[in-house]
Amino acid sequence: MMASRMWRSVRGLILASVACSSPPAKPDAYCGTGSASPNGLVATAGATTFTFTNLSASPNADCQIPTAPKGVIAMTIAPPPLATPLLTVCIPRPDLLPGGLPIGSQAQLVDLDGTSDGCSFTLDDSIPPSGTMSAAGLCDAGSAHAGFALSVDATATLSRMCGSTVDQVSATLSGTIAVAGP
């Protein structure tokens, strides 16, 4: 009888402890790149097309904002060093990327550069790009090693230099690409 009361007391303490603690964090249903292609993102400027490959994400606070929740570190998405064409994106709040972010202050297009047919193309900072970016399979605010799939639908203005001729061309940036985790 005494053992039975003791067990009920211990069981009651365990149940009270579980009831008072915060619920466990729900894991995301899916982390990783899924079926996204490692070269699924394309920029098209007139007859010129740039295909981006081997992008990876790195939490590094390059575009950190003071209103980010504690523990959320800005993320930079870029190809390996010296890769061409070049695409660099900085996301101040990667925790919001799954819901989609407007390109501008919430998803910053830093670089969009390449060369084709003797011409060089660079992002024209004087005309802000527009569009959206979103992610699927993003876990731990982008710091999960599994990576994620980045979808982009945007327009940007590029400066085109062909010899001594310089002009501006509109470019569309679209597709879904597998982004490797850190």
> Domain for residue 63, yes or no?
yes
Please write the tens of the pLDDT for every residue from 93-134: 999 999 999 998 799 999 999 999 999 999 999 999 999 999
According to the model, what pLDDT value does residue 29 have? 57
According to the model, what pLDDT value does residue 62 have? 85
> Domain for residue 14, yes or no?
no
Question: What is the per-residue DSSP string for 31-49?
Answer: -S-TT-BTT-EEEEETTEE
Q: Which domain holds residue 39?
A: 32-179
> Domain for residue 64, yes or no?
yes
Question: What is the per-residue DSSP string for 50-106?
Answer: EEE---EEEE--TT--TTSPTT---EEEE-STT-SSEEEEEES-GGGGGG-EEBTTT
Strand partners, 107: 103
> Domain for residue 5, yes or no?
no
- Which residue, chain included where needed, has tokens 């327009």? 155
> Domain for residue 24, yes or no?
no
Indicate the pLDDT class of residue 24, thresholds 50, 70 and 90.
very low
Please write the tens of the pLDDT for every residue from 29-61: 589 999 999 999 999 999 999 999 999 999 988
According to the model, what pLDDT value does residue 67 have? 87
Sequence-distant (6+) residues with CB within 8 A of 119 are: 48, 160, 161, 162
Identify the sign of the CA torsion 154, 99, 142, 149: negative
Is residue 13 predicted with pLDDT exceeding 50? no
> Domain for residue 152, yes or no?
yes
- Which residue, chain included where needed, has tokens 């061309």? 169
Domain count, the chain: 1
Stretch 141-146: mean pLDDT, rounded? 89
Task: List Cα–Cα distances, 134 to 2, 40, 54, 57, in angstroms.
Answer: 60, 14, 18, 14
According to the model, what pLDDT value does residue 142 have? 85
> Domain for residue 10, yes or no?
no
> Domain for residue 170, yes or no?
yes
Please write the tens of the pLDDT for every residue from 61-92: 889 888 888 888 999 999 998 889 999 999 99
